[in-house]
A and B are shown apart, each in its own frame.
Chain A
């Protein structure tokens, strides 16, 4: 078990190093860092001095090492646009993105699992067909369209919910949350649905197919033949056995939720890291782009690791083999 976790951590570090290389290449070669920082009137000598100071004359491998070790300490350089440390800016924006992603994921799970179970158990019912039709829409509509549609209905037409921003935010020092104010809660509903709809559909379809598969297995038949209550057979025996693929997909999708937040954040002008990244791209603010890339990679790897450990918790077969 411990050996397994250590092995996975080493693999994760390798993945991060590779992504770090991509980020570094971008950082170093997309445009000239010196040109980005200095004005037009700076002399060649001054430029060379700056180049020396920034360590840009050193061998690439040394530069890469500096980049990675600085990044590991949370130092991603200075933003060209804001002239402030990237880590500081990202730190301000991250809570908004993570809260949005979390609420979306909860929405996707809380709606997706029951809908999946229902459609598997009552295959031919009217409600199942409605769920399946809606899920088809969820899968085929791009999220910016869903967002605009929701804004049109709930903000413009019904005027129930705000169409942009994060509402009032409570500052907890290291974290700013919108989940403690009424306006903040209202503001997160539409973006969370927009962002989570695709994942909800995915989870629902996954749970449905896994559940139908498990309901056909011998141990479910045997559980029925022993006269266990239908509820126990369905939820105790069948649903629990669908959880491994569901945990995998849900976990991995959490990474995608954060990554895809870029679009939703743009539609709803949500002040998160996705919006920051998009503005950085428009302004060729390479340090922010590189940092964002590394951050997303780190989150993906972290989530993967957690998913692997969760398997072990759910499935005794893996748990006992390792011990």
Chain B
């Protein structure tokens, strides 16, 4: 058993559209160790959700993975058949979606949804599955779990529902959870609670997490490493501390400056000028070049390769050229 749980190499996801191929994810590579929390950040449309969906094999046709590989614990999973992939989903890779209000089937009690999921993957009796479900609900912090389990989703608050969703994602004991903006739809006051629950549950069960979010605060609090996605490509990936303190890619720097911090005295946050190019008209060369303050000639013609700089990997010509930071 190697230490690397998930290995994504040069993954490409395309959507055929009327206006030609739309490349939502463009040669994305990263590794994830057991129990590690990897943050995935980027602007809306950067390809975060599609990256997550591609790993778990849930890209909606006609979209498809058209290049690269995904290995889970050493065995390749991106080319599996539908039925084999289904067995992996929930059992080895779980998923948490953004909106807890719509993630649960309104017509079934949460007991039914939990027990159904547990018994799909584990060889347990109805009774054993129910006991396991109640245990999980207690772990995620649902009070009086043995009674609340027979309630319907609409009888829970948003925060409580997201706890139920986390319990559902974890109920067959997966090695990896992909959490796609698990707190975006929630009240600010419960956001950090939910992140805490997710973090604690995954630490206790040794589950690795890919945490997709817009919120660098969440990343700083919960993630071990962070990957910054820009227009379908990884701009920079590295340990959270390093990326936050000494970002190397100009886009990441801009992103970090736009985080509100308690110590910051000026009340205006810096914005990165311009907008991310639509993936249909991504420029030749570096996708960030049109917005970059340090743009060089080579940036407009040639895509930067990914280089290791310290513990980070950066895709920027400034690093290759040894240019100023």
Contacts and interface: CB of A to CB of B under 8 A. Distances in A.
Interface of A: 217-219, 221-230, 232, 236-237, 240-241, 314-317, 320
Contact of B105 (A225, A229, A230, A237): A237
A229 B90 CA distance: 11
A24 B153 CA distance: 51
Contacts of A224: 58, 89
A155 B203 CA distance: 74
Given A219-B104, A227-B87, 16 more contacts: A218-B99, A218-B102, A222-B97, A223-B105, A224-B58, A224-B89, A225-B89, A226-B120, A226-B172, A227-B90, A228-B120, A230-B82, A241-B106, A316-B152, A317-B154, A320-B152
A228 B116 CA distance: 8
B107 A228 contact: no
Given A241-B105, A241-B106, A320-B152, A221 B89 contact: no
A316 B97 contact: no
Nearest to B120: A228
A223 B102 CA distance: 11
A61 B109 CA distance: 54
B102 A226 contact: no
Interface of B: 56, 58, 82, 86-91, 94-95, 97, 99, 102-109, 116-117, 120-121, 152, 154-155, 165, 168-169, 172
B207 to A, nearest CB: 15
Contacts of A225: 56, 58, 89-90, 94-95, 97, 169
A316 B104 CA distance: 13
A317 B106 contact: yes
A217 B102 contact: yes
B161 to A, nearest CB: 11
Nearest to A241: B107
A161 B58 CA distance: 51
A314 B108 CA distance: 10
Contacts of B91: 227
- Nearest first, the 6 A-B pairs at minimum CB distance are A227-B90, A227-B89, A225-B95, A226-B90, A218-B102, A222-B103
